[in-house]
Amino acid sequence: MQQHTFQDVEAFDGFGGSPDGLGATVRMLGDDAPAPNQGLVVDSGPTVLKRTLAITYAIASVAGTGIGAYHGYKRNDSVGWAIVWALLGGLFPVVVIPVAYAQGIGKQKR
């Protein structure tokens, strides 16, 4: 059985450039150096539009959570309703934010 030392580990092509995803690979002494990105599939990632929509939804979701929690608590004087409105605001910000504004943010239910 052959023992390996720290010198046997060679980093190539930066972080995540190895088959193990850690940026380093173990080479046996006497082996040829691996070619960069040998056998790796490179994913180009999401398109700019998808990324922009995802960021926009994330920001709207955070805003919907805050607005929903505030509106649910002030409207009903209830922590339970604040939680419900916050959850719905996080999941459906495009619906909850306009509904909260239409009801008057924080106005008491009549």
pLDDT at 10 over 50: no
Strand partners, 24: 11
Please give the pLDDT value at position 2.
Answer: 55
Question: How much is the pTM?
Answer: 0.56
Quick one: 52 and 91 in the same domain? yes
The residue among 94, 4, 96 whose CA lies nearest residue 84 is 96
Quick one: 98 and 65 in the same domain? yes
Within a domain: residue 22?
A: yes
What helix, strand, coil percent values describe the chain, rounded to 5? 50, 5, 45
- Tens-place pLDDT, residues 25-53: 555 566 666 566 555 555 556 677 888 89
Quick one: 56 and 29 in the same domain? no
Quick one: 31 and 55 in the same domain? no
Number of domains, the chain:
2
Quick one: 75 and 95 in the same domain? yes
Range of 12's domain? 1-42
- Tens-place pLDDT, residues 66-109: 999 999 999 999 999 999 999 999 999 999 999 999 999 888 87
